[in-house]
Amino acid sequence: MVNNKYALIKEIKEYAIDNKIPIMRQDGIDFLTTFIIKHQVKNVLEIGSAIGYSAIMMSLCSPNLKVTTIERDEERYLEAIKNIKKLKLEDRITLIFNDALKTKIEGKYDLVFIDAAKAQNIKFFELFERNLTDGGFIITDNMYFHGLVHKNEKEIKSRNVRGIVRKIKDYITFLKNNDNYNTTIYDIGDGIAVSEKKARGGS
Ligand code: SAM
């Protein structure tokens, strides 16, 4: 049974590679799961499930953790449902098939994990920070956007990619200037931002 779990995770990763589905890198997953354990996170709201890989890895690292995750791509959502069933995590992972920007979530979460359309990060942050507990965290993946954020923009040929890189830079400025949070960007995986919500009235 234990071996079966690892075999299933391996299959999910292989499916992601074969179908060019972007999932978190191993060092990013290690960071996220260690963070969840260290901060005793009880529930996570994830924006961008893809095929359920990160939601599954987060659930497996902490036996009582609950994850709510939103995905707008139907094929990926259906694959995520299958994967979550295979790992028997249906009672701990709630999948929502919708555009996150059109989704209203009730309740509070210790951790909001943003891993969806990179150009929309500010919108996701502003929409879902209302779901964050005091002292909770917003974690955002791909802050380096495959290293392109550190490149001279003139070297980036695609106009579309240049636009995304600019939006990520705007997001970094937004996080740094946001007095309600302390943000650190870690040089792990593809760059991971951790924004800790300051306790009300405190610093
Ligand atoms: N967190 C996943 C993992 O590591 O296993 C990977 C997520 S992948 C990088 C980003 C996903 O976000 C894609 O599957 C994409 O369809 C989804 N997405 C992008 N914008 C979205 C939106 N506005 N609402 C819901 N899902 C969105």
Residues 49-98: pLDDT tens digits?
A: 999 999 999 999 999 999 999 999 999 999 999 999 999 999 999 999 99
3-state SS, the chain, equals CHHHHHHHHHHHHHHHHHCCCCCCCHHHHHHHHHHHHHCCCCEEEEECCCCCHHHHHHHHHCCCCEEEEEECCHHHHHHHHHHHHHCCCCCCEEEEECCHHHCCCCCCEEEEEECCCHHHHHHHHHHHHHHEEEEEEEEECCCCCCCHHHCCHHHCCCHHHHHHHHHHHHHHHHHHCCCCEEEEEECCCCCEEEEEECCCCCC
| Residues lining ligand 1, Cβ inside 6 A | 22-24, 48, 50, 53-54, 70-73, 76, 99-101, 115-117
Bridge partners (DSSP) of residue 109 are: 132
For position 201, what pLDDT does the model report? 57
Average pLDDT (7-33) is 97
Beta carbons of 162 and 170 less than 8 angstroms apart: no
pLDDT of 153 above 50: yes
pLDDT of 8 above 70: yes
pLDDT of 16 above 50: yes
CATH number of 2-197: 3.40.50.150
For position 203, what pLDDT does the model report? 45
For position 191, what pLDDT does the model report? 94
- Output the CA 98–ligand 1 centroid distance in Å: 11
Nearest atom in ligand 1 to the alpha carbon of residue 22 is 9
For position 200, what pLDDT does the model report? 72
3 — pLDDT class (breaks 50, 70, 90): low
Nearest residue (by CA) to ligand 1, atom 6, is 23
Residues 97-135: pLDDT tens digits?
A: 999 999 999 999 999 999 999 999 999 999 999 999 999
pLDDT of 1 above 60: no
Residue entry with tokens 């302390």: 182
- Output the CA 107–ligand 1 centroid distance in Å: 21
| Global confidence as pTM | 0.95
Inter-axis angle of helices 53-61 and 26-38, nearest 10 = 40
